[in-house]
Amino acid sequence: MTDLGTQALFGPVSGNPWQGRVVHEAIDAAAAAWPDHDAIVDGDTTLTFSELTTRRDALAAVLAQRGVSRGTHVALYLRRSWEHVVLLHALWRLGAVVVTLNTGWETDELEYALNFTDAEFLIASTSVAGVAVSHRITGLGLPEHGPVTNPRFPSLRAVVGEDSDATSHEWHLQSWMRAEPGPLPEPVRTQDAVILFTSGSTARPKGVIVRQESLLGSAHFFMGRLGLTDSDRFLGLGQYFHAGGLVQLLGTNLYGTAHHLFDGFQLKKIVRAVDEYGITATTGFDLVLSRIWDEFDRIERPCPLHKVGCAPGMAMHDRLEDAGATVVMMYAMSEAANMVSLTEPVESERDRMSNGYPLPGVTVRICDPDSGALMPAGTPGEICFAGWNLFSGYYKAPEETSRAMDGDGFFHTGDYGWLDEKGRLYYRGRYSMMVKTGGENVSETEVENFLVREVAGVVGAAVVGAPDERWGEAVVAFVELAPGVAFDPHWLREACRGRIAGYKIPKRFIQVAAGDWPTSPMGKLRKQELRIAARHEALEAKVTAPE
């Protein structure tokens, strides 16, 4: 590896083996190599790779008859299921662009996303993880299924229901799955695969356009680093509205590995499946992984998961290694088709503290966040990267895309870290105003705006993240209340519930009196002081809300 000294510029020159290729080619290749291997396992339903491609092509023909073609934006508000997987592959075969909607979103968030992305079709579940969600669709003045005539949604043509009980209906996914397919259009080779929503310093989530070749490349390197083979079985815990979930799915497809999925986190059901099938690999966050291992300890059974991708704390890392698991850690984000760097499975104590080396063909720089100057090895700064994994841009936000890029084509992440003398990356926090809680990114600005605009009695709000054993970071809200309004953290939480996604609701509220906000001489809020106060629980008015 070339040492560029004070430039701290690292990254091998070889690139993405899937460059210029598309998802349907990968699935066709898997079906040719492993036709009878299990591809998808969803409860009692198992699809082989041959069956997956057959169902994909049949559904693609029906979708084409309904008007889905190259460039059509199709929004998915779906539970995880085998039908969801078939639908993704059918849409990509047609060259459609998938718009992923977080199933925790409420009506306001859904309305914004549907209109912002110019979605023409919405395919939606009636329930997710046993929780009814159809009211969020009908609450927008949309039908559960059928043509859309509401002028609030000028681009949306129809809502397609995903009822498992539907026997026949023009606008039901289950009916389309059973329909006699018409002529199958020629496969489309187009790169734009998905619009993923990611929170940032803006009040609204940004739409990240990710290419098929980039998702395939990330999947190839990640699962390859885990050592996945066609004899493995993978526990898929990632949501398909996140880049990580898509990379997990595609990675198992690439390596001929059975992908086991579940609608929600059903601990006992998951542990039973892992034990009975001998599932060998997974990826997840500390909270999820620790619960799985705790349950295996409770039932006094050895956990067969021995290939684990994660970004764990050291306690969980030690627990995994003590159990004999191969552990691969990463630095990931939507703008990188999920993957920027990966650790090697067998590393030194120092390596374990890092986020690994940049992927082949990906270059990482550390820059001064103010001047943009390149920082020497070992000196912290802003993490920047360039390479084949780079996103195509933020949807309908060319100026924001330009602001995030420098003249050399590097994306400035807003994250804090450094590279050591060997080129290993160390991510240690965020410059950007975002809270990473339970695997979800939460925009501080979005929650602040919601509290002030939508919660009666809140006249000022500042949201920060604070370390939390369970969630990684907890969303903490400092609030100023109108005169005469009593401070009641429980009431504040309940005022948020059902109106904003649950993971965005602050875990703690801290009252700040009028005039007591920490500000600069120019009146700018000194948010770092609030972060310190939240971290050390230093404000007298701190009150912890119940979970």
List the CATH number of the domain containing 376: 3.40.50.12780
Answer with the residue of higher pLDDT: 56 or 521: 56
Other CB atoms within 10 Å distance of the CB of residue 112: 14
Give the tens place of pLDDT for each residue, 468-484: 888 888 999 999 999 99
| Residue 485 structural domain | 434-544
Give pLDDT tens digits for 444-471: 888 998 999 899 999 999 999 998 888 8
Is 201 inside any structural domain?
no
Helix axes 23-33, 212-226, angle to 10 degrees: 40
Domain boundary among 382, 399, 430: 430
Q: Is residue 37 part of a domain?
A: no
Single residue among 372, 396, 430 that ends a domain in this structure: 430
Last residue of a domain, one of 410, 430, 450: 430
* Residue 208 maps to a domain: no
Q: Are residue 426 and residue 491 in the same domain, yes or no?
A: no
Residue 443 and residue 413 share a domain? no
Q: How confident is the model at residue 1 (pLDDT cuts 50, 70, 90)?
A: very low
User: What is the rounded distance in angstroms from the CA atom of residue 413 to the CA atom of residue 410?
Assistant: 9
pTM of this prediction? 0.83
> What pLDDT, on the 0 to 100 scale, is given for residue 370?
82
Distance CA(306)–CA(537), nearest Å, equals 38
Please give the structure tokens belonging to residue 319. Answer: 């627990």
Q: pLDDT by residue (tens digit) across 40-71?
A: 999 999 999 999 999 999 999 999 999 999 99
Per-residue pLDDT tens over the stretch 224-255: 999 999 999 999 999 999 999 999 999 999 99
Quick one: 389 and 446 in the same domain? no
The yes-or-no verdict on residue 282 having pLDDT over 70 is: yes
DSSP one-letter code for 165: T
Are both 347 and 425 inside the same structural domain?
Answer: yes
Closest of 151, 149, 161, 174 to residue 77, by C-alpha: 161
Instruction: Verify that 119 and 244 share a domain, yes or no.
Output: no
pLDDT class for 142, splitting at 50, 70, 90?
very high
Domain count across the chain: 3
- The one-letter amino acid code at 298 reads R
Whether residue 87 contacts residue 111, with contact meaning beta carbons closer than 8 Å, is answered with no
Do 426 and 445 belong together in one domain?
A: no
Residue 444 lies in a domain: yes
- Distance separating alpha carbons of residues 292 and 387, to the nearest angstrom: 36
The answer on 279 and 139 residing in a single domain is no
Distance CA 85, CA 80 (A): 8
Residues 356 and 484 placed together within one structural domain of the fold: no
38 lies in some domain: no
Q: Write the CATH number for 522.
A: 3.30.300.30
**Other Cβ atoms closer than 10 A to 372:** 16
Residues 87 and 111 in one domain: yes
The more confident residue out of 437 and 273 is: 273
Measured distance CA(357)–CA(175) in Å, rounded:
47
Q: Assess contact for 338 and 243: CB atoms under 8 A.
A: yes
pLDDT band at 143 (very low <50, low <70, confident <90, very high): very high
Contacts of 26 (CB under 8 A, 6+ apart): 18, 216, 250, 253, 254
In a shared domain, residues 457 and 327? no
Tell whether 202 is covered by a domain: no
- 540 and 423 co-located in one domain: no
For residue 335, is it within any domain?
yes
198, part of any domain = no
